[in-house]
Amino acid sequence: MLKKIVKMVLIVVVGVLVIGVIHGQLLTPERQYLGEIVAYRAGGSAVNYSKLQQTGCTARSLTKSGINSVENTLQAASGSVAAGADVIHLNVHRTRDNELVVFHDWKLDCATNGVGPIHKASFKELQHLDAGHGYSFDNGKTFPFRDKGYRISKLATFYQQYPTHTFWLNLKNNDPQSFNVLYEYIADKKNNHTVITSDKGSAWFKQKDPSIKLASVDSVKSCGIDYLLMGWSGFVPESCRNTVLFIPPNMSQYFWGYPERLAARLQSHGSAVYLWSKHEPLDLSYADHLASGIGVITSDLAFIEQAHATKLATLNGG
């Protein structure tokens, strides 16, 4: 009797696996759109992430071969947009006087000639600081961006300069007042937005306005883990619906159906897939993945230019 039960269970399991594989391989929706090019932190320079682990300071962890501009500045955004970026990703802080400014670090000390937490400063105190003051690739021997006109700017200035671009806004503050200040700013804007925030922030924005696109570290991680476990079946887990999935380039081969099937499946459930290279050089061959619906998050200007050209060729039937 026990052998019969075990046999039946095995038959059912094998049947489910076979059906899942067939479903995953054959029943794939059509791709809805090409991948997007996202300018990570508006652009910037290449970072040695091993060194960053030691310094804890992005500005002091640059690589000499990747010197371009200062992240989260108008100059960086200008270069990325000129190269062909579709989306501008920005880090956003609320200041003491409730202004929204674009800057990454919690404190001013590393990157600028200012000191202290940015949220305790007013915009008047921030606007004349040198945002490129601390950047170096050679342990402080030289400072390629010092006194070159880089400034901390208001979020509004980016919107004024790029009124038709999509923005990803990574809100660094994690309090209701900051959530509300950002919401009040973007509520009447025509641009497309994605707000990247904490789980606490996601819950606040969902309650305030369910139409706002949201992402958090935990939501991206949950989608990635769940898809690795279930993607073989063609089933898109709930955690991967109406969200974004970020994949490090060297991990892409582990995601079932990458690139075409993965992109098409998630697009059919309101989600998008991106390779996430941050401030690291990216192999130009990945530019071809945009045609499969895979976006790319990068500050590598050479890659952005190549990806943009590849995307135009695809749109023009090349």
Condensed to tens digits (0 to 9), the pLDDT of residues 129-175 reads 999 999 999 999 999 999 999 999 999 999 999 999 999 999 999 99
Cα–Cα distance measured from residue 39 to residue 37, given in angstroms and rounded to the nearest whole number: 7
Residue 162 belongs to domain with CATH number: 3.20.20.190
Mean pLDDT calculated for residue range 276-300 = 96
Q: What is the pLDDT of residue 283?
A: 95
Mean pLDDT (whole number) for 243-247: 96
Q: How far is CA 178 from CA 99, 166, 190, 237, 282, in A?
A: 10, 21, 21, 31, 34
Task: Output the pLDDT for position 14.
Answer: 41
Residue 283 lies in a domain: yes
Q: How much is the pLDDT for 191?
A: 79
DSSP secondary structure string for all residues of 241-284:
SSSEEEE-GGGGGGSTTTTHHHHHHHHTTT-EEEEEEETS---G
Per-residue model confidence as pLDDT tens digits over 171-193? 999 999 999 999 999 998 887 89
pLDDT at residue 155, as a whole number? 98
Residue 264 lies in a domain: no
Would residue 73 count as lying in a domain? yes
Residue 267 in contact with residue 245, Cβ under 8 Å?
no
To the nearest whole number, what is the mean pLDDT of the chain? 92
Q: Which amino acid is at 204?
A: W
Amino acid (one-letter) located at 274: Y
Task: Report the pLDDT averaged over residues 242-247.
Answer: 95
pLDDT at 5: 52
What local confidence, expressed as pLDDT, does residue 28 receive? 72
> Is 229 among the domain residues?
no
Domain assignment of residue 240, yes or no? no
Cβ contacts of 15 within 8 Å, gap of 6 or more: none
* Torsion angle in degrees (nearest 10) through CA of 199, 94, 92, 161: 140
Write down the pLDDT at residue 317: 82
Report the C-alpha gap between 288 and 244 in whole angstroms: 20
What pLDDT was estimated at residue 4? 55
Sequence-ordered list of residues with C-beta below 8 angstroms from that of 192, at least 6 positions apart, any chain: 166, 167, 213
State residue 19's pLDDT score.
45
> Of 22, 7, 15, 4, whose CA–CA distance to 234 is shortest?
22
- DSSP string of 63-113, one letter each residue: -GGG----TTSHHHHHHHHHHT-SEEEEEEEE-TTS-EEE---SBSTTTSS
Give the residue numbers spanning the domain of 153.
Answer: 36-215+279-315
Give the pLDDT score at 12. Answer: 41
| pLDDT, tens only, 20-43 | 444 445 557 899 999 999 999 999
Write the single-letter amino acid at 147: D
The count of domains in the chain is 1
Instruction: With a cut of 50, say whether residue 9 has pLDDT above it.
Output: no
Give the whole-number percent of the chain exceeding pLDDT 90. 86
44 belongs to a structural domain: yes
User: 122: helix, coil or strand?
Assistant: coil
Taking 90 as the threshold, does the pLDDT of residue 236 lie above it? Answer: yes
Cα 290 from chain centre: 15
Whether residue 127 is contained in a domain is answered as yes
Cis peptide, bond prior to residue 259, ω within 30 of zero: yes
pLDDT of residue 15: 40
Residue 24 lies in a domain: no
Average pLDDT over residues 49-67: 94
